[in-house]
Amino acid sequence: MSAGTILPAALVLLCGMLPVYAQQEDSVAITLDLKDVVIVSESYRKAMERASALPIEVAGEQFLMQHLGGNLAQTLAHLPGIHSMDIGSGFAKPMIRGMGFNRISVTENGIKQEGQQWGADHGLEIDAFGAERILVRKGPASLLYGSDAMGGVIEISQLPPPPDNRVFGEVITLGKSGNATLGGSLMTGFRYEAFHAKLRYSEQHFADYRIPADTIVYLTQHMPVHGRRLKNTAGFERDASLHAGYRLGAYGATYVLSNAFQQTGFFPGAHGIPDAARLTDDGNRRNVDLPFSRVNHLKASSRQQYAFPSGTIAWDAGFQQNDREEWSLFHTHYAGQSPPEKEADRELAFTLRTFSSSARLRLFPSGQWEHTFGWDMHLQHNRIGGYAFLLPAYRRFSSGALWLASYTPVPGLDLSGGLRYDFGRIRCEAYSDPYLESYLLGRGYTAGQIEAYRWRSYPADRSFGDISASAGLIWTPNGTHRFKANIGRSFRLPGANELASNGVHHGAFRHEQGDPSLGSEKGWQCDVSAAYQGPGLSLSLSPFVAWFDNYIYLKPTGEWSALPHAGQIYRYTGAEAVFAGAEAALSADFPQGFTYEFTAEYVHTYNMDEHIPLSFSPPPAMNNTLSWRKKDLRVYAGLQSIAAQHRTARNEDPTPGAHLLHGGASFPVVLCGTRAEVHLSVHNLLDTAFYNHLSFYRKVEIPEPGRSFRFVIKIPFKNNLK
Domain boundaries, the chain: 3-720
Answer yes or no: are the C-beta atoms of 212 and 687 closer than 8 Å. Answer: yes
Cβ–Cβ contacts within 10 Å for residue 614, how many? 23
Give the Å distances, CA to CA, from 498 to 328, 554, 555, 573, 703.
25, 9, 11, 8, 30
Q: Is residue 119 scored above 50 in pLDDT? A: yes
Q: Is residue 9 scored above 80 in pLDDT? A: no
Answer yes or no: are the C-beta atoms of 694 and 83 closer than 8 Å. Answer: yes
Confidence of residue 274 (pLDDT cuts 50, 70, 90): low
Answer yes or no: are the C-beta atoms of 25 and 314 closer than 8 Å. Answer: no
Q: Which amino acid is at 497?
A: N
Which pLDDT belongs to residue 30? 34
> Rounded CA gap, 100 and 148, in Å?
10
Q: 49 Cβ partners below 8 Å, 6+ apart?
A: 56, 482
pLDDT digits (tens, 9 = 90+) for 340-358: 888 889 989 999 999 999 9
Q: Is residue 428 scored above 90 in pLDDT? A: yes
Which pLDDT belongs to residue 343? 86
Cα angle: 550, vertex 556, 558; to 5 degrees: 130
Please report which helix (H) or strand (E) contains residue 615, including its range: none
Answer yes or no: are the C-beta atoms of 524 and 489 closer than 8 Å. Answer: yes
Confidence of residue 7 (pLDDT cuts 50, 70, 90): very low
pLDDT digits (tens, 9 = 90+) for 468-487: 999 999 999 998 999 999 99
Confidence of residue 566 (pLDDT cuts 50, 70, 90): confident
Confidence of residue 439 (pLDDT cuts 50, 70, 90): confident
> Rounded CA gap, 393 and 391, in Å?
7
Q: Is residue 318 scored above 60 in pLDDT? A: yes
Which CATH code of 3.30.70.20, 2.40.170.20, 3.40.30.10, 2.60.40.10 fits the domain covering 3-720?
A: 2.40.170.20
Please give the model's pTM, rounded to 2 decimal places: 0.90
pLDDT digits (tens, 9 = 90+) for 257-267: 999 999 999 88
